[in-house]
Amino acid sequence: MVTYYFPPIGGPAVYPMLKFCKYLPQHGWLPAVICGGKNDPDFSSDETLVKEIPEEVEVRRVDYPHGTIWRQVRGWLFAHRLGRIGHHVGFFIDFPCRFREWAELAIAEAAHLIEESRPDVIWTSSPVLSAHYVGLAIKQRFGIPWVADFRDPWVGNPILLSEEHFPQWQLGRQAGAEAKVARESDCCTFAHPLVAQEFAQRHRLPQGKAVPITCGYDPEDFSEKTTQNPPEGRLLIVHTGSFYGEYSPKPLYNALKTTVSRKPALLKRLKLVFVGGCNVDFDFDGLEVEVLPRVSHSEAIAWMQRSDVQMVILTRTMGNYSIASKLFDYLAAERPILAIVPGQGSCAEIVRKTKSGLVADPDSPEEIIGVLETLIKMKAEQALRFDADSSEVRKFSYPVLSQTMAKLFDECVGMRRA
């Protein structure tokens, strides 16, 4: 398994691969992990996650290479006010992403591991796209079956490859690199069904080569139920995780701004808690807001469980291509969900299918206000609960998802031996 994000690095990108590592051995697959080292200051850490790595899983950490000659050249260009040239140099060397130089070191480490233990499958996982560069090199050198996992889209990703920030020649290179991964890999897995479908169509893949396997939740993370009930009075709405780029709280902000003139009393019945270092400015008279720094995963779960309502927000730009990974933990926390997401997207579909909450259109302040009024009324009447469909929720547990992934590995090995 090649993934940059792995404990003690924290954050949502870590959880899928950590949880698959935890549960795959139950289905006959023992991972060995090549991941990022502990020297990258750009990422938060969560030491509590390290204890979840099974003892039998070998972890080889490859430090991020700071201070390479190319980065020194780019720094010199920026220092001498040649930023435009510096940007293009950056696009050239940071291909397919800024972890390319790390990937070169990871290839060498993967080769050592393969010579020592000869694994049955190599499994690479993005959002660090350069992880797939490792998979491609290993597949070409050793001929081992290769599964390329996409937790986020590659081509067409409005955050990763924005046309506003990337020159056309770079976008073309990225499209070519994605096509090569699609062609050379034995199978591709995706966290989002629509992304899997579009990827298969774009690259004319045979049926069964692009497989959706979503993120999920670990039931063991929720084995201890909180004894702390939501406070009386205001409706306590909790959002976990950060906002950045197109992941924005703007839909909720616009709705609350509307209430200032139309329904100011509504603000006095709400309390918003943002857990995870969010940069939000909800300065409305009467509204109570609390912004907390980054916390451990277990602390974030405790906040979910003590909330009246758990909130997820996706703008329309992100709604078709993203399923917020927090949604799956929300399902397991068993508190009502307020999903301010596009009604036709996968997030909305999951909330409706699991019967776990209410959906509001991110472009409709009136609809958001209406849902907030419904939730406030439900709390006042002591009827704030949803009878979620446990069988649908269970489909997103990592024990179940790991079984699906294991079957996929079995098929890859079987096809190669055949």
Banded pLDDT at 278 (limits 50, 70, 90): confident
Average pLDDT over every residue of 93-115: 90
What pLDDT score was predicted for residue 142? Answer: 96
Higher per-residue pLDDT: 328 or 243 = 328
pLDDT at 304 over 80: yes
Specify which residues 262 forms β-bridges with: none
| CB atoms inside a 10 Å sphere around CB 283 | 7
Span of 131-145, 149-163, 249-263, 369-383 with lowest mean pLDDT:
149-163
| CB atoms inside a 10 Å sphere around CB 347 | 25
Sequence-distant (6+) residues with CB within 8 A of 246 are: 158, 159, 315, 317, 318
Ranges of beta strands (E only) in 151-228 are 187-190, 210-212
Banded pLDDT at 394 (limits 50, 70, 90): very high
Residue 15 and residue 52 in contact, taking contact as beta carbons nearer than 8 Å:
no
Span of 6-10, 202-206, 213-217 with lowest mean pLDDT:
6-10
Higher per-residue pLDDT: 74 or 357 = 357
Q: How does pLDDT run across 212-222, given as a tens digit for each residue?
A: 999 999 999 99
Average pLDDT over every residue of 17-40: 93
pLDDT at 288 over 60: yes
Span of 88-97, 300-309, 366-375, 400-409 with lowest mean pLDDT:
88-97
pLDDT at 383 over 50: yes
pLDDT at 418 over 80: no
What average pLDDT does the chain have? Answer: 89
DSSP code, position 114: H
What pLDDT score was predicted for residue 277? Answer: 74
pLDDT at 268 over 60: yes
What pLDDT score was predicted for residue 279? Answer: 79
Span of 110-119, 245-254, 362-371, 391-400 with lowest mean pLDDT:
245-254
Average pLDDT over every residue of 142-167: 80
Per-residue three-class SS string for 352-363? HHHCCEEEECCC
Domains and CATH numbers, the chain: 15-216+397-417 (3.40.50.2000), 220-394 (3.40.50.2000)
Alpha helices in 32-167 (DSSP H): 69-79, 83-93, 100-117, 130-142
pLDDT at 86 over 50: no
Token representation of residue 60: 């080889």
Question: What's the predicted TM-score (pTM) here?
Answer: 0.90
In three-state secondary structure terms, 335 is: coil
Percentage of the chain modeled with pLDDT above 70 = 88
Q: How does pLDDT run across 307-338, given as a tens digit for each residue?
A: 999 999 999 877 667 899 999 999 999 999 99
